[in-house]
Structure 1
Amino acid sequence: MTPQDKALYFNALPLLLLAGTYLLVFVALLPTLWRERSRVTASDLALASVFPGIAIPAAIFGALVLHDREPLGGHVWWSFAACVVGLVPALVFLARWDQRGSVILGAARAREAEELVSLRDRELDTVAGLASSLARTQEPEAAGRALLDEVVALMGVEFAALALVDDEGREARGLVARSSTGDIGWWADMRLGLRDEPSGIASAYFEAAPVAVYDIESSALVSQRLARAAGAKSAAFVPLTVSAAALDDALSRERLVAAISRRIRSSHDLDTITRVAVTETGRALGASRCFLRLGEPGERLPMRAEWWADGLSPIGDELAERLPVSNLAARVRRTVAVADVLDAEELDEGRPAGRDALEQLGTRAALATPVVAFERMLGVLGLHRPEPGLWSPADVSLAEAVADEIALAIHVAGLLEENQRRLGEQSALLKAAQVVTSELELNAVLQRLVDQVATLLRAEAVDCYLLDPGRGVLRCAAVHGFPASLVGYEFPIDKGLAGRAIARGRPALVEDYAEILETVPNETYAGFHGAMVAPMRWAGEVKGVLGVGSRDPQRRLTSGEASLLDAFANLAALALRNAESFEERSRQARIQRGFYRIASALGQPISLEETLDALAQAAAEALGGASAAVLMPVDGDLRLAGLHALPAPLVRFLEDGLSDPGDPLRSSARRRRVLVSSALADDDRFGAEWRRVAEEAGYQSLLAAPVETPREDDAALVLVFFPEEHRFADDDLELARNLTGAARGALERSDLFEGERRSRALAQQLARTSSLLAPELDPATLLDEVAQRAPELLLADAAVLRLLEGDELVAGAVSGESASVALESRLPSTARLAGDAVQSRAPVAVADAREDQRLLQADPVLGAGYAGYLGVPLVGPQGTVHGVLSVYSREPRQWREEEIEALGAFAGNASAALSSAELYQSVALEKERSVAILSNIADGIVAVDREGHVVLWNAAAEAITGVPEAEALGHPPGEVLQRELESPGESPAGERLLPIRRGGEEIWLSLTEAVMRDPAGAVAGRIFAFRDISAERVVEQMKSEFVSSVSRELRSPLTSIYGFAETLLRDDVLFGEEERSTFLGYIASEAGRLTSIVDRLLSVARLDSGDLQVNLAPTDVGALVTEVVRSAEHTLATGGHRFVLELPPERLQVDADREKLRQIVTDLVENAVKYSPGGGTVTVSVRRRDDVVEVQVDDEGIGVPESEQELIFRKFYRAASQSRDLSSGGTGLGLFIARELLAAMRGRIWVRPREERGSSFVFTLPLAGRAVLLERE
């Protein structure tokens, strides 16, 4: 800030403000000076002239500084501080606006009070002197002259006369008349008939009371003859009593009153005054008691002073409230004299218990007169006598006179106390003013202020709330005696005593805080007894409230304290005003910051949105507004584009645009002129809706400044809103023009930046979307992807991709709301607008299609509510047109050139991607056919490239070799199979057998090979076809082994039979019967063995043909197993085997063929013995498992390898083992037959793994009856 600006803002403006404030004070005093001109003294005029005496030099100095732009004496801040200090007295005066008259008339009022006291003193002195003169005078005329002279001197009248009435009361004659110049002669000859002529003398005589007439000419009570002779306009007539006793009584009474008055006035202590009054009065009137009760009107009257005769006790406050005579006098505000309290009917209107109180005190006669000062009752003076009797007029007069003296003394003491209090208040206010001027930080000022209030009013709790008119709440700003956490608390302005004070515009006082219906909703305020709140007002506007509270029930807050609190509240408002002044002085700094922000925006290539928001913020800060908005031209309208602190109602209103062409804001933009409105609510240029929205947002003033835009013909508009009525100066308008001029450069640079950014963004988006299209090879998915990405590319609302099928355009994909209507229509290739793009092979752009109904009918998407249209053809690599890509916008839109080019490039990429996808689909279809063929061939197919890496590994190859396709692809077959498939030499051999390992087994492949060669004849790859012949080889091997085994099995019994038969047939040996029987037994046993072998072979044949029958019947498993084990113990226990049988206690029956079940158990037991060549324990156990019976045979033999546990149940398979020779016998049919027989009986068999050596065979059969039940189900 330059020195000239400092001189302007901190010297010239404060001096002019000082001059204006003091002139305002002087103007405010002028009506009072004129109205009270009769009372104004020279000192009052001198005091009043101080204000213009300060204002005029301040104005002259302010004008000089404003002209020269140089501070006073070259010191800016000292001059500024002097202005602030000089401003304080005027602000204090304005804060005490309702007491402005006391500034110049305070001395006059004090003088009047002193004159009133002096008047009473003169009256007493006059009465005393008059009594003395009358006592020394013997002549009636001389006594009359002395009396009239005192009256003329005391009352300042022009005419005073004395008339005597005869004994019959018929006629009055003049005695003497006096004026300030001497006797009036004609009065001595005056005669007046009291009964014949109306007159004031007759009225006073007959009524025995004074008569006063304000306007004699209009009164019928006054003799007009005498009035004309005396030249009187108003008059007073007082009757005189000439009884010597009465005169003596009157003089004695006056002397007594004068004595009491002198003693009362000799002290200003209220206790001394009241004590002297009741003591002297009680003794003078011969009373037994004399007391004084003081209190406010309508309230209880506590005992203030009391005198009682010897032998009596004081009344006390409890009985004082029940004294009926003094209560009656206070109620009717007149003297009440009761001769006998027992017979007084007027006491019946009060509480009957009052008579009891008087009887309790021993009182029979009572007198009470109200103590009244200047029409305000202060209390009651009461007297009691123990005996009944009338109170004489002298007694009543004396009591009333003493009451008047007491009232005057109390009033004077009150004035002194009031002056003392005012001095204290002025001192406190001065300190508060010093606080206000010593701080510019509002929170510190308010905190010191509440501390001062607490000290002066002896308050235990003080708080200060500031009003937020926009939100309608009061926010706590400072506290004393409350928790610090209360600062910042908010509540509505209609709550609590604060709401009452704000509504009334004056302090509110309650003695019982609980009587407030709408209390402040905070527990901190619970428990308060008394409270008062004063609004902080400045220039008629409420800025907040200042509150005082007390929890002590004995602490009574008074109206005087409320007035003092009101003064402090006005000082708080002054503090707010000073803060506002400081804010005003900071305005230029904000303006410069606004310019700096605009300059910063000009120097940075920021986006348009950021530029518009920065422009709105800079405008609000520079012009001191609460919020701002920037409206940009869009399709012939102005719409919200940038904002700063803008309330929601205005945002919603401005987002829709200013549709009315006659709107003053649109006119301002067209004419490039600044528009201001200091009172929006009363501005008829704005529509009702505009005014309603502004009022809802809390704004009263508006400034609109046009800003030139780079691309549009119409100007943009900057709106600045103000919450209060704002008077716009020329500086504001000039600042607005400079601001918008600077903003034009920012918008131009932002437009260039936005253009570059849009182009770059479109290029990036185009590259990104094209890259997303490139890998997509499904035409349908590709079409959907194009339709989804096209609106994103241009920030449009919908897109439709139409494909050219013959002479029609068919929608292939859509995106956006309501765009699906295009799927239901087929457009001719010549239709508008899509057909235009096809026919012209060029883009077609329409800003607003709603203006042409033919376009809405031709395109169903436009008919669905869209306005803007942009279509580009899909042209393939060979120049063929595939269709049209169309994008739509809900609102009218001017399509930029770069947008059209970007959509055209995107359509070209989409067309190329579509061609690639269609080509890929055809190739993929062919591949799928080949893959399907290869996948469904039972032979394994493996293809390798020229490097020998696998490129094809079909499902059959995976199943045969056990190698997954994922592990085989990309690796040589020799690495995958551990065996080379390729035949040696360049020419492949014919079909050949090749063994490979599959897991833990060896399989045999029948392999053929084909060689693929490239056009040069070099090997380009090989194809191997193979099938698994391992099963055939195993079957052949098993058949060979079976034939060999069966041959051995058959040959052994046949050899035995043949040998024994040959032996029996020998002739050279004679055998006895025993030997012959033994040989025949062997022959029969071997024949049975041979039969068993044959039966087993026949069973296998029946199983293969399905002719094997089983006869199911309930069979006792335990009994059958027991038989088999007992038989085995005799026939098979020769090799060191031991048999263990484990049976359940209950009997278990199964549905089975008994003989075939016996065969199964026998085979399992024999196998256990056979495969346990070293002996061991064979355990046969039977148990129940749910609905089945489980039979388990365990041995401790050689066991079954895990790899053979499934193979042993195959036909002809015999488990191999190092401990057993396969040539030892067995056909390999036992377990196969057992499995098939159990399956026929609804059972199953398996090998259960054992942790120890040996094997465990288990089979199950359903319980008896279970099979029948299953068949029924």
Structure 2
Amino acid sequence: MILRSVVGKLWLTIIVLVSLVLLLLSLFLSEQVGSAYMKDQEQSLIQLTDDIEKSLSTSQSDQTESLNQTLEAAKLFRTYMVILNSDGSTKPLVTSPHASDIKWTDIFSANQLTKVMNGERLVWHDSIQLADEEKSKGIILVADPYYQQGASPGVLVIYQIKDDLGGAKIKEWIFYSALIALILTTIFAFFLSTRITQPLIQMKRAAERMAKGEFKIRIPVRIHEWDEITSLGITFNRMAAQLEDSIHQLSQEKEQLASILRSMSDGVITIDKYKKVILSNPQADRFLALWTSDNDLPPPLTDFLKRVMESEEEVVEDVSKQDTTWAIVMAPLYAGEQVRGAVAVLRDVTGKRRLEKLRKDFVANVSHELRTPLAMLQGYSEALLDDIASTPADRKEIAQVINDESQRMSRLVRELLDLARMEAGHVQVFIDEVEVTTLVRRIERKFSTLAKEENVQLRVEMSDALPLVYWDEDKIEQVLTNLVDNAIRHTPASGSVCLSVTVQSDRILLAVADTGNGIPEEDLPFVFERFYKADKARTRGQSGGTGLGLSIVKHLVRAHQGEVTVKSQVGRGTTFTVSLPIQAKRDEAQDEM
């Protein structure tokens, strides 16, 4: 863990460097101190040797006194002296009680003695084990030839016993000093490392919090201690402020883009090259919800994406699903020169396509409705011109056909004009007091003959005490006329049609129910469209209508602030229900022509 930390690395680096320096310095100082100590001890013994040699060169009386004084002083420092004659025997001047502990013959060899007798001074040091000591002791020995007046030359041997031959105490103090310096350096290095790396650790923690989305984080900066770390901290805070501002701007732009996408009536889907949906708005989600497959992308969009990736050109096509038609435009998205995905714009064109179909059907139906009477008018008029009708009865029959077809054309044109005005909002509604009972009975009398001709039972059911209502009587009569006429014409023989009137709260419900073949469920939403035929096999000529009646009913009912609904079951009949307020409000805007 230490090596994975900047503080640990810096601390270990300083400790290792300082330790190496202190070790080398300690070794150097120990060597120098030991060498200097030995030289000092050797010089002291050499000086003592010179002094004794001078004493030996004096008279006998002075010599003895001087040597005794020298020996007394030397005992204090465990220094011993042996004087040898030329034949190698000792003089009785050495009386130290410790001199016998270390025999000079144990540390001074015959070869060394020979060298000294030949006039060579010998300086020697070593370590030996004393009999009464647990540790070895240091020995420093100086042997030098001396000369007396009137006597042959001899050998002066001076040796000194030392507890520490190389200045071990001084070396020990050097070691302790180095150890103390190392401890202090460790503390200082740790303090310095912490001081230096603490801002870095703060930056690391701040960066981690920024990675989690906390862009308001800032690190403390010591302005009074300006250095590179302080400059780095200021730069980090400036970077964090700029990053926070950039993220804020990006968030605003993202929210703005999301709001735009949510408010768009078109769906927008962004797809990457791996067929993953990156972005979509609610309208696009509605399109994606049409597919319940586990695939991330619906099959049509997958195919479009493949074509876009291969051709790098936009694709425009319609896709239908669950009675809904979508117009899709998919264009490539680029990352540099490479296609990284595609963006698709989807528009629900179900209503538009339906209107286009209705427009085509309208033109076809109007053409069909006009073609038949025009053909009959032309044919019968040519018959009159060619005198094919020879009798007055034939001519009257032809004239009657021409009159019926012209009235049929007039009715079609009139209803088309009325419907056009209604769809444009120009419906004249004259609100007045109306007795519902009288209105319903009038409708019953009007269609009783037709019902008998078609062998259909027509009956009326009304609640008691119906209130007075305020409607446009002519418009509501037209509504009931269209509904009852359709019901009778689409009810087979022996069937029945029921016109019922009920009161529900502040509204009147007018219901026309038949026992006809019924309307398929998929056709119910379109029965109020112009020229829409629920029975695809039935022609207008068979039913006698223009195909505009229900569309007119819808507009007239809405002009009274009412609603018209239909319920049907194939093989069991159909029920149209008109819900009208008891007192309809007159809409001035609708009355403007």
Q: Structure 2 residue aligned with 1:947, among 268, 271, 274?
A: 274
Give the alignment of 1:806-821 within 5 angstroms: none
Q: State the Cα distance separating 1:1029 from its structure 2 match.
A: 3.7
Whether contact under 8 Å (1:1247, 1:1257) holds in the other structure is yes
Aligned match of 1:1012: 333
1:1001 aligned onto 2:323: yes
Whether contact under 8 Å (2:507, 2:579) holds in the other structure is yes
Q: State the Cα distance separating 1:950 from its structure 2 match.
A: 1.4
Give the alignment of 1:265-414 within 5 angstroms: none
Aligned match of 1:1094: 413
Aligned match of 1:22: none
Aligned match of 1:1042: 362
Given the superposition, is the C-alpha separation of residues 772 and 1172 from structure 1 closer, same or farther in structure 2, using an over 3 Å criterion?
farther
Q: State the Cα distance separating 1:1237 from its structure 2 match.
A: 1.1
Given the superposition, is the C-alpha separation of residues 1113 and 1257 from structure 1 closer, same or farther in structure 2, using an over 3 Å criterion?
same
1:963 aligned onto 2:289: yes
Given the superposition, is the C-alpha separation of residues 1010 and 1176 from structure 1 closer, same or farther in structure 2, using an over 3 Å criterion?
same
Name the aligned partner's letter for residue 297 of structure 2. Answer: P
1:876, 1:1117 → 2: CA distance?
93
Name the aligned partner's letter for residue 474 of structure 2. Answer: E
Name the aligned partner's letter for residue 1257 of structure 1. Answer: F
1:880 aligned onto 2:256: no
Give the alignment of 1:565-584 within 5 angstroms: none
Q: State the Cα distance separating 1:944 from its structure 2 match.
A: 1.2
Aligned match of 2:198: none
Given the superposition, is the C-alpha separation of residues 1123 and 1019 from structure 1 closer, same or farther in structure 2, using an over 3 Å criterion?
same
Name the aligned partner's letter for residue 1214 of structure 1. Answer: Y
Aligned match of 1:972: 297
Name the aligned partner's letter for residue 325 of structure 2. Answer: I
Whether contact under 8 Å (1:1200, 1:1215) holds in the other structure is no
Q: State the Cα distance separating 1:839 from its structure 2 match.
A: 4.2
1:1155, 1:1144 → 2: CA distance?
22
Given the superposition, is the C-alpha separation of residues 1039 and 1185 from structure 1 closer, same or farther in structure 2, using an over 3 Å criterion?
same
Q: Structure 1 residue aligned with 2:508, among 1189, 1193, 1202?
A: 1189
Given the superposition, is the C-alpha separation of residues 1134 and 882 from structure 1 closer, same or farther in structure 2, using an over 3 Å criterion?
same
Q: State the Cα distance separating 1:1077 from its structure 2 match.
A: 4.8
Give the alignment of 1:654-693 within 5 angstroms: none
Q: Structure 1 residue aligned with 2:310, among 978, 986, 989?
A: 986
Name the aligned partner's letter for residue 963 of structure 1. Answer: A
Name the aligned partner's letter for residue 1012 of structure 1. Answer: L
Q: State the Cα distance separating 1:980 from its structure 2 match.
A: 4.6
1:1197, 1:875 → 2: CA distance?
93
Name the aligned partner's letter for residue 1036 of structure 1. Answer: E
SS at match of 2:534: coil
2:534, 2:369 → 1: CA distance?
18
2:394, 2:517 → 1: CA distance?
40
2:401, 2:505 → 1: CA distance?
47
Higher relative contact order (CA 8 A, sep 6+): 2
SS at match of 1:972: coil
2:468, 2:389 → 1: CA distance?
55
Given the superposition, is the C-alpha separation of residues 969 and 1025 from structure 1 closer, same or farther in structure 2, using an over 3 Å criterion?
farther
Aligned-residue Cα RMSD (Å) equals 4.3
SS at match of 1:983: helix
Give the alignment of 1:554-703 within 5 angstroms: none
1:1045, 1:1081 → 2: CA distance?
25
Whether contact under 8 Å (1:1102, 1:1108) holds in the other structure is yes
1:1209 aligned onto 2:536: no
Q: State the Cα distance separating 1:1030 from its structure 2 match.
A: 3.7
Aligned match of 2:28: none
1:1031 aligned onto 2:351: yes
Give the alignment of 1:769-784 within 5 angstroms: 773=209, 777=213
Whether contact under 8 Å (1:1242, 1:1261) holds in the other structure is yes
Structure 2 spans left out of the alignment, 5+ residues: 1-201, 587-593
Give the alignment of 1:693-1092 within 5 angstroms: 773=209, 777=213, 837-840=222-225, 879-880=234-235, 882=237, 917-958=244-285, 961=287, 963=289, 971-974=296-299, 980=304, 982-983=306-307, 986-990=310-314, 992-997=316-321, 1000-1005=322-327, 1007-1015=328-336, 1018-1067=338-387, 1069-1072=389-392, 1077-1092=396-411
Whether contact under 8 Å (1:1181, 1:1192) holds in the other structure is yes
Q: State the Cα distance separating 1:1001 from its structure 2 match.
A: 0.4
Aligned match of 1:1141: 460
| TM-score in terms of structure 2 length | 0.54
Whether contact under 8 Å (1:777, 1:917) holds in the other structure is no
| TM-score in terms of structure 1 length | 0.27
Name the aligned partner's letter for residue 513 of structure 2. Answer: D
Whether contact under 8 Å (1:1150, 1:1261) holds in the other structure is no
Name the aligned partner's letter for residue 289 of structure 2. Answer: V
Given the superposition, is the C-alpha separation of residues 876 and 1177 from structure 1 closer, same or farther in structure 2, using an over 3 Å criterion?
farther
Given the superposition, is the C-alpha separation of residues 946 and 1063 from structure 1 closer, same or farther in structure 2, using an over 3 Å criterion?
closer
Given the superposition, is the C-alpha separation of residues 1026 and 1223 from structure 1 closer, same or farther in structure 2, using an over 3 Å criterion?
farther
Q: State the Cα distance separating 1:942 from its structure 2 match.
A: 2.0
1:1109, 1:986 → 2: CA distance?
60
Q: State the Cα distance separating 1:1181 from its structure 2 match.
A: 0.5
Name the aligned partner's letter for residue 248 of structure 2. Answer: Q
Aligned match of 2:196: none
1:1234 aligned onto 2:553: yes
Aligned match of 2:518: 1199
1:1222, 1:1092 → 2: CA distance?
14
1:929, 1:935 → 2: CA distance?
10
What count of residue pairs does the alignment treat as equivalent? Answer: 382
SS at match of 2:317: strand
1:986, 1:1119 → 2: CA distance?
73
2:283, 2:401 → 1: CA distance?
56
Given the superposition, is the C-alpha separation of residues 1220 and 936 from structure 1 closer, same or farther in structure 2, using an over 3 Å criterion?
same
Aligned match of 2:478: 1159
Given the superposition, is the C-alpha separation of residues 1137 and 1111 from structure 1 closer, same or farther in structure 2, using an over 3 Å criterion?
same
2:410, 2:351 → 1: CA distance?
31
1:993, 1:1175 → 2: CA distance?
51
Aligned match of 2:591: none
1:551-574: CA deviation from partner (whole Å, max 9, x where unpaired): xxxxxxxxxxxxxxxxxxxxxxxx
2:540, 2:211 → 1: CA distance?
63
Name the aligned partner's letter for residue 1161 of structure 1. Answer: L
Q: State the Cα distance separating 1:955 from its structure 2 match.
A: 3.6
1:711-746: CA deviation from partner (whole Å, max 9, x where unpaired): xxxxxxxxxxxxxxxxxxxxxxxxxxxxxxxxxxxx
Aligned match of 1:286: none
Name the aligned partner's letter for residue 994 of structure 1. Answer: D
1:1105 aligned onto 2:427: no
Whether contact under 8 Å (2:568, 2:574) holds in the other structure is yes
Whether contact under 8 Å (2:520, 2:534) holds in the other structure is no
1:167-222: CA deviation from partner (whole Å, max 9, x where unpaired): xxxxxxxxxxxxxxxxxxxxxxxxxxxxxxxxxxxxxxxxxxxxxxxxxxxxxxxx
1:1124, 1:1048 → 2: CA distance?
30
SS at match of 2:368: helix
Name the aligned partner's letter for residue 412 of structure 2. Answer: I
SS at match of 1:1011: strand
Name the aligned partner's letter for residue 270 of structure 2. Answer: A
Q: State the Cα distance separating 1:1183 from its structure 2 match.
A: 1.3
Whether contact under 8 Å (2:268, 2:345) holds in the other structure is yes
Whether contact under 8 Å (1:982, 1:1009) holds in the other structure is no
Q: State the Cα distance separating 1:1258 from its structure 2 match.
A: 0.8
